[in-house]
């Protein structure tokens, strides 16, 4: 096995209704424009309905990319990156299952203004380098 390092988030919030606090948490982190990365089932079943109004209330722009599929192909990732760039997202939220979370992580890296890597460059362990947008 190759040696590796694993660092996780500095904060986890687990409480009933915590998703309604999402916009406020983004604002606390200095966000102005946020991209939510999710799948069509999340939007179809209204799971963002109580979340999205909070962004307007906090004075933040929010966009939703809801085309993530299980085991997403490259075109899904690249489309989400393009949407993040077009809305000038300065924070990315992965909302939903593992594929949405994985795509959000890639978007946070590839949509960063200083990113010089392509999706092809970061395949493999330890190849993703540089800054990422807050996630």
Any idea what the CATH number is for the domain that residue 107 is in? 3.40.50.1970
pTM across the whole model? 0.91
Residue 97: predicted pLDDT: 92
Number of H helices, E strands in the chain: 5, 3
Whether 1 maps to a domain, the answer reads no
Residue 127: predicted pLDDT: 93
Number of domain units in the chain: 1
* Contact predicate 72/45, CB 8 Å: no
Whether 129 maps to a domain, the answer reads no
Residue 96: predicted pLDDT: 93
Sign (positive/negative) of CA torsion 121, 122, 126, 131?
positive
pLDDT at 6 over 80: no
Domain range holding 45? Answer: 22-122
Written as six digits, the tokens of 97 are 């299952």
Whether 8 maps to a domain, the answer reads no
Which H or E run includes 97?
A: none
Written as six digits, the tokens of 73 are 């192909």
pLDDT at 57 over 90: yes
pLDDT at 43 over 90: yes
Encode pLDDT of 83-131 as tens digits.
Answer: 999 999 999 999 999 999 999 999 999 999 999 999 999 999 999 999 9
* Contact predicate 125/84, CB 8 Å: no
pLDDT at 3 over 90: no
């Amino acid at each position: 096995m190759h040696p590796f390092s694993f660092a996780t988030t500095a904060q986890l919030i687990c409480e009933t209704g915590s998703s309604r606090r999402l916009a406020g948490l983004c604002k606390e982190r200095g966000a102005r424009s946020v991209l939510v990365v999710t799948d069509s089932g999340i939007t179809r079943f209204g799971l963002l309905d109580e979340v999205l109004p909070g962004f307007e209330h906090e004075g933040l722009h929010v966009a939703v990319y809801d085309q993530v599929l299980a085991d997403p192909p490259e075109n899904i990732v690249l489309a989400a990156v393009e949407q993040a760039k077009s809305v000038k997202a300065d924070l990315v939220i992965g909302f939903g299952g593992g594929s949405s979370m994985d795509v959000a992580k890639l978007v946070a890296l590839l949509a960063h203004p200083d990113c010089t890597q392509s999706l092809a460059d970061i395949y493999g362990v330890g190849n993703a380098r540089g800054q990422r947008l807050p996630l």
